[in-house]
């Protein structure tokens, strides 16, 4: 495990493993077959990449999608890991070269598509290698139950027969119970070690809102999240296009994506998204599979997803880097009706349809129930979560209930008086006394309940009716134009006065409250945060430029999490930068100088503007010294003591700056003093060293020798 930790730091720049990663890696070291169930962003890749790097031989990774493979290999190469892929997009020369490299031991990780894996030629090639591990990524593709079934995956069983002694690892983020179970059977591993981590994604804020005025709500959201990457999922091809066009007209940069676009166009949109050229994509669910972009900051569902599995998979594309991210879902009953009709009209047997409808209902219940979202969703996946999360709309804004019996009675009575012939919208129109054509034609304006509910808005009424539906006061005749019917429980409310509690509408009702909420939302940005944001923006631009030059996506240069930590710590030298999580040796070497230079520029500019930034004082002194100003002059100019000036220079030297030490200390003296340091302990007490040499060397010389000893080789 010690080697595993060293490799983690060296290649990936991380200091420690996440929960379960080390146990999983140990399991491979023990030669066991291993199954890894972890949510997206949980850190699955490290689980096979670290064994690959630390075990003798080659790790073969089976991965279903070309885009995914390319992305992973690019990321690994950027970290200095010898990795390559072979799939249908590779030409024969590349394949030969890759195979030769593998045989020559120049590769540690080889990604391959399942189709390629099972070919005779590839199997022959494999025989020439020492294989450390087979990793099957997206292993749920083996199940015909899942939505991503890949028939070729089922043939992977032969690996276990041909290589009984090579450990195998299967990984997936699927939370769907049926698929998981089937996957385990299909893989037919011997006594595998199974690791299931929590499927909670605590960094994603879950919000559900009624779907009225979605456009406005989305404008508002995008305005509050400038420059951030996100996906807006829409139900239909048309709504993707419409939404994208509308947003563009409003000045937001978006593109649309759906399965009917020609393939070149689709890849262009995807590339533009990955490379941060277009921040927001309006897409059908065809978009996202095979995208590993770690800095997706939000996922919006313009329509209700068809089931909780889909919802969770889609929002899982946000925040892989672990930074705060948003999942915003709009729902309306109209979506439910549309899907229900689609399911009923579709081909397929009745059992399948019923299953789909049951899942749709669960999705709707999730959106509708005023219970902590995370609790509900995790319960759906059989995971106990017994607190309230504090990071969803319900937790942040718990519903307030009121005595709603009278309101419920008004609605129930209106349904009865129209002989249960009306749907939801008509019911609200009757209650609110609308004079639309249909009402007049049907003489609904003459019934007793007409216009008795004007005190609530249209949206409020919908919200109440939804709750009545949920608590079983009414039901919907799906097979009969979605007419509303009063249930026996509803009759109790209507005729015997059974009490009903209703939740107040989520959106503030009156202007006063709206204003208050708006003010509460605009949090003043503190000075420290302001500086960080400003630097982040500059580093983001730098990252984009570097990415463009190096031909890799920006998040492969450094993740948002790494940039964010840079803004917090403001590393001014290599040694500082290496302490930032996500900076490994290769990236330090490739990109370090550019980032440090930018951070230094930022710090100095701030100083010029009179803003105190920590770390700047060393840099100021150093900059003056580099310009040729003498130490004495620097001390006067900066109003600090000459000793402090010297201390600053030593500090910069320690951090790796190149300085000519000859004005202060000779190489021989340096060697002698450094040679004595092993007799002392950090933090060194200069006086002790001074006395050790019978006061022969000045404090200044001793300070330089210490700096030289601390300096990174
Ligand atoms: P998954 O494959 O499970 O979706 P990834 O392997 O892509 O997740 O990891 C998600 C993110 O977490 C990546 O940016 C990855 O570099 C980061 N990560 C993984 N393990 C660690 C760790 N031990 N410390 C810090 N970050 C990690
Ligand atoms: Zn919650």
37-79 pLDDT per residue, tens? 999 888 999 999 999 999 999 999 999 988 889 999 999 999 9
Atom 12 of ligand 1, nearest CA residue: 43
Contacts of 422 (CB under 8 A, 6+ apart): 414, 415, 430, 444, 483, 484
Q: How many A from CA of 43 to the centre of ligand 1?
A: 3
The rounded distance, in Å, linking the Cα atoms of 303 and 211 is: 8
What single string gives the DSSP state of each residue in 315-345?
HTTS-TTSS-EEEEEEE-HHHHHHHHHHHHH
Do 242 and 218 contact (CB within 8 A), yes or no? no
Mean pLDDT of 101-130: 94
Predicted pLDDT at 609 = 83
Q: Residue 704 CB: number of other CB atoms within 10 A?
A: 24
What single string gives the DSSP state of each residue in 102-131?
HHTT--SEEEE-HHHHTSHHHHHHHHTS-E
DSSP-derived pairing of the beta strands 401-403 and 58-62? unpaired
Q: Tell me the two tokens of residue 232.
A: 């807006």
| This model's pTM is above 0.95 | no
Instruction: Provide the b/e sequence for 662-678 (b: ≥16 CB within 10 Å).
Output: eebbeeebbeebeeebe
Q: Please tell me the number of the ligand nearest to residue 36's CA.
A: 1
Radius of gyration, alpha carbons of the chain:
32
Helix (H, G, I), strand (E, B) or coil at 403: strand
Secondary-structure breakdown of the chain: helix, strand, coil percentages, each rounded to the nearest 5:
55, 10, 35
Q: How many A from CA of 166 to the centre of ligand 2?
A: 44
The rounded distance, in Å, linking the Cα atoms of 559 and 533 is: 15
Res. 248: pLDDT tops 90: yes
Q: Which domains does the chain have, with CATH numbers?
A: 2-196 (3.40.50.300), 204-350+360-368 (3.40.50.300), 401-517 (1.10.10.10), 526-614 (1.10.150.80)
Query: Which of 17, 45, 561 has the most ligand 1 atoms within 8 A of CB, as the residue to mutate?
Result: 45
Helix 667-676 / helix 699-710 crossing angle, nearest 10 deg: 70
Residue that wins the pLDDT comparison between 256 and 514 = 256
Res. 204: pLDDT tops 50: yes
Average pLDDT, the chain: 90
User: pLDDT digit string (tens) for 480-509?
Assistant: 778 999 999 999 999 998 999 998 876 554
Q: Among 373, 418, 419, 368, which Cα is nearest to 395's?
A: 373
Query: Which of 43, 79, 171 has the most ligand 1 atoms within 8 A of CB, as the residue to mutate?
Result: 43
Do 652 and 622 contact (CB within 8 A), yes or no? yes
Q: Tell me the two tokens of residue 30.
A: 């023990």
Ligand 1 pocket residues where CB is under 6 Å: 14, 17-18, 21, 38, 40-46, 294, 320-321, 559, 581
Q: Please tell me the number of the ligand nearest to residue 393's CA.
A: 2
Give me the helices (H) in 250-390, please: 263-274, 308-315, 333-345, 350-368, 373-380
User: pLDDT digit string (tens) for 608-636?
Assistant: 887 777 778 888 899 899 889 998 999 99
Query: How many Å separate Cα 592 from the centre of its chain?
Result: 25
Do 504 and 400 contact (CB within 8 A), yes or no? yes
Locus of tokens 């100095």: 604
User: pLDDT digit string (tens) for 321-349?
Assistant: 999 999 999 998 889 888 998 898 888 88
The rounded distance, in Å, linking the Cα atoms of 550 and 545 is: 9
User: pLDDT digit string (tens) for 443-486?
Assistant: 999 999 999 999 999 888 988 998 888 788 998 887 777 899 99
Q: How many A from CA of 394 to the centre of ligand 2?
A: 6
Q: How many A from CA of 491 to the centre of ligand 1?
A: 55
Helix (H, G, I), strand (E, B) or coil at 233: strand
Strands, sheet with 34-37, edge to edge from the N-terminal-most edge strand: 83-86, 109-112, 58-62, 131-136, 168-172, 34-37, 193-196
Helix 424-431 / helix 405-417 crossing angle, nearest 10 deg: 110
Mean pLDDT of 195-222: 93
Res. 155: pLDDT tops 90: no
Residue 44 CA, closest ligand 1 atom number: 3
Res. 521: pLDDT tops 80: no
Res. 33: pLDDT tops 60: yes
Q: How many A from CA of 539 to the centre of ligand 1?
A: 21
Predicted pLDDT at 471 = 80
Q: How many A from CA of 473 to the centre of ligand 1?
A: 47
């Amino acid at each position: 495990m010690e080697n595993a930790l060293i490799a983690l730091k060296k290649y990936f720049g991380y200091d420690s493993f996440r929960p379960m990663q080390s146990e999983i890696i140990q399991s491979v070291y023990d030669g066991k077959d291993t199954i890894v169930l972890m949510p997206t962003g949980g850190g699955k890749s490290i689980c096979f990449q670290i064994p690959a790097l630390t075990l003798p031989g080659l790790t073969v990774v089976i991965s279903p999608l070309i885009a995914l493979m390319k992305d992973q290999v690019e990321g690994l190469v950027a970290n200095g890991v010898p990795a390559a892929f072979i799939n249908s997009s590779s030409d024969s020369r590349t394949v030969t070269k890759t195979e030769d490299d593998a045989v020559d031991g120049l590769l540690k990780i080889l990604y391959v598509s399942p189709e390629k894996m099972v070919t005779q030629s590839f199997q022959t090639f494999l025989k020439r290698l020492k294989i450390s591990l087979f990793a099957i990524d997206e292993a749920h593709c083996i199940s015909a139950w899942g939505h991503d079934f890949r028939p070729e995956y089922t043939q992977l069983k032969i690996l276990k027969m041909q290589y009984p002694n090579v450990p195998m690892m299967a990984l997936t983020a699927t939370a769907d119970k049926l698929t998981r179970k089937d996957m385990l059977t299909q893989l037919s591993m011997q006594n595998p070690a199974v690791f299931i981590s929590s499927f909670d994604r605590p960094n994603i804020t879950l919000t559900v809102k009624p779907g009225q005025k979605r456009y406005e709500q989305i404008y508002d959201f995008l305005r509050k999240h400038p420059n951030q990457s996100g996906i807006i999922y829409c139900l239909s091809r048309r709504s993707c296009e419409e939404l994208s066009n509308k947003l563009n007209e409003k000045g937001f940069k978006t593109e649309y994506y759906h399965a009917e676009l020609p393939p070149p166009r689709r890849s262009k949109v995807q590339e533009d998204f990955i490379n941060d050229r277009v921040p927001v994509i309006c897409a059908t669910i065809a978009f996202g599979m095979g995208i590993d972009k770690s800095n997706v900051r939000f996922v919006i569902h313009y329509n209700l997803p068809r089931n909780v599995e889909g919802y969770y998979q889609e929002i899982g594309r946000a925040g892989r880097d672990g930074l705060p991210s948003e999942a915003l879902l709009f729902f309306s009953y109209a979506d439910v009706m549309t899907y229900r009709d689609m399911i009923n009209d579709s081909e397929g047997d009745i059992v399948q349809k019923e299953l789909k409808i049951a899942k749709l209902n669960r999705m709707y219940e999730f959106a509708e129930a005023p219970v902590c979202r995370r609790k509900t969703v995790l319960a759906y996946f059989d995971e106990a979560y017994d607190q309230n999360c504090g990071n969803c709309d319900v937790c942040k804004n718990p519903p307030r209930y009121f005595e709603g019996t009278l309101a419920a009675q008004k609605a129930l009575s209106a349904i009865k008086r129209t002989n249960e012939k009306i749907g939801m919208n008509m019911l609200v129109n009757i209650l609110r006394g609308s004079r639309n054509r249909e009402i007049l034609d049907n003489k609904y304006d003459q019934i007793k309940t007409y216009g008795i509910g004007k005190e609530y808005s249209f949206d409020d009424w919908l919200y109440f009716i939804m709750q009545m539906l949920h608590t079983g006061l009414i039901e919907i005749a799906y097979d009969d134009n979605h007419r509303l019917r009063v249930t026996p429980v509803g009759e109790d409310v209507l005729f015997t006065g059974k009490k009903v509690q209703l939740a107040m509408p989520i959106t503030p009702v009156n202007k006063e409250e709206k204003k208050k909420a708006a003010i509460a939302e605009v949090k003043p940005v503190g000075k420290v945060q302001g500086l960080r944001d400003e630097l982040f923006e500059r580093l983001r631009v730098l990252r984009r430029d570097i990415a463009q030059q190096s031909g890799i996506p920006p998040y492969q240069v450094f993740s948002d999490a790494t940039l964010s930590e840079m803004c917090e710590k403001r590393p001014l030298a290599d040694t500082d930068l290496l302490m930032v999580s996500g900076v490994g040796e290769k990236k330090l070497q490739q990109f370090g100088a550019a980032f440090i230079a930018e951070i230094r520029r930022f710090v100095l500019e701030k100083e010029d503007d009179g803003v105190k930034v920590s770390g700047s004082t060393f840099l100021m002194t150093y900059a003056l010294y580099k310009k040729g100003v003498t130490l004495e002059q620097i001390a006067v100019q900066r109003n600090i003591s000459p000793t402090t000036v010297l201390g600053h220079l030593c500090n910069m030297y320690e951090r790796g700056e190149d300085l000519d030490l000859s004005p202060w200390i000779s190489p021989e003296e340096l060697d002698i003093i450094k040679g004595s340091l092993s007799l002392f302990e950090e933090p060194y007490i200069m006086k002790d060293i001074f006395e050790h040499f019978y006061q022969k060397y000045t404090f200044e010389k001793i300070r330089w020798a210490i700096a030289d000893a601390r300096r990174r080789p």
